[in-house]
Amino acid sequence: MGWESLRQWGGDAARIEPLAGGTANDIWSVRVHGRLAVGRLGTRSDADLAWETKLLQHLDREGLTVPVPIPTTDGRLFADGMVVMTFMEGGPPQTPADWRRVAGALRELHRLTKGWPQRTGWRSSTDLLEARTGTKIDLGAMPPEAVARCRAAWARLAGHPTCVVHGNPNNPGNVRVTASQVALIDWDEAHVDVPDLDLVLPHNAADLDFGALDIAAQASAAWEAAVCWDDEYAVSRLAEVRQV
C-alpha cells in the first residue's frame, strides 16, 4: 500500500523528510500524535516484523535504549510492511570512549537475549556450515573456494553460545550516542548468532584478546562477504578471509 498506510497511526500522522541510511527500506522522519518519530517502509514478512518488534519491546522493558515500536490506532506494531518507532537522539560514536560504551550496550543486548528464537528464515554463521541458504545468503551463488573460506572462518565459532546479535554495530550510522545514553538503531541485520560477531569494533573497544578478535574478525568478514555477494564490497570483505 505504500506510505498511505501511515494513516493507520492516526489522521494527523505525516511524513516530514527522508532519512539517510536505509538500503533495504524507505525511512522517513514522521510526526505521529504530535511527536517526532521514524517511519520505515519495507518488504519484510509479517513474521519477520513480529520477531523484530517483539525483540525491541523486550529490550526496552529491560532498560536498553532502542527504538520502540509505536502501535497503530488499533494496537498493531506494524502494518503493510510499515513500522513506526520512537526517534533516537544523538550522533554517531567518535572517540574510543564512545565505542567502549557501545561495546557495553552490545554486551547487555547479548545478556538479555540468551535463548532467543532465531529470526524467521535466518541462519546463524554456524548453521551455514551445513545449510546453503538463509535470508540474504545463498552460498550456491558463491565460488566453491569462497564458500570453503567462509565456512572455515565460521567453523572456529562452533560450540560458542548464541544470543541475538545486532548484526552491524560497527557502522557508526547505526548508533546514537549522547552524554547519558547509547542507542542501537537499524535492526535489519539482527538475528541469533555468536555474540563476538558484534564485538569487532573500532579501537578493539570490546577489549577482545588477540585470539578472540582474530576469530571474530574473520567470521564477520566472511558473513558480510556472503550477505552482500557479489558486489565490490563483498569481494573486498572476502579478501580479508584467509585462504584454506
Query: What's the pLDDT tens digit per position in 176-222?
Result: 999 999 999 999 999 999 999 999 999 999 999 999 999 999 999 99
Q: What is the mean pLDDT of residues 126-135?
A: 94
Q: How far apart are CA 186 and CA 21, in angstroms?
A: 9
Contact call for residues 218 and 153 (beta carbons, < 8 A)? yes
Pairing of strands 137-138, 133-134: antiparallel
In the chain, ranges of CATH 3.30.200.20 domains: 2-86
- pLDDT for 59-105, tens place per residue? 999 999 999 999 999 999 999 999 999 999 999 999 999 999 999 99
Q: Report residue 23's pLDDT band, with 50, 70 and 90 as the boundaries.
A: low
- Rounded to two decimals, what is the model's pTM? 0.94
Residues of the chain with CATH 3.90.1200.10: 96-238
What pLDDT score was predicted for residue 25?
Answer: 85
Report whether pLDDT(127) > 60: yes
Assess whether pLDDT exceeds 60 at residue 225. yes
Q: What would the mean pLDDT of 28-57 be, rounded to a whole number?
A: 96
Please state, for a pLDDT cut of 90, what percent of the chain lies above it: 95
How far apart are the C-alpha atoms of 158 and 109, rounded to whole Å? 21
Which CATH class, in words, describes the domain spanning 2-86?
A: alpha beta
* CA distances to 132, 155, 196, 208, 239 from 160, in Å: 20, 10, 9, 15, 25
Q: Residue 98: is the preceding peptide bond cis (ω within 30°)? A: no
| Per-residue cell: 235 | 569481494
Q: Which of 125, 96, 95, 93 is nearest to 197 (CA)?
A: 125
Is 96-238 CATH 3.90.1200.10? Answer: yes
CA angle 220, 225, 231 (to 5 degrees): 150
What integer is the mean pLDDT of 5-19? 96
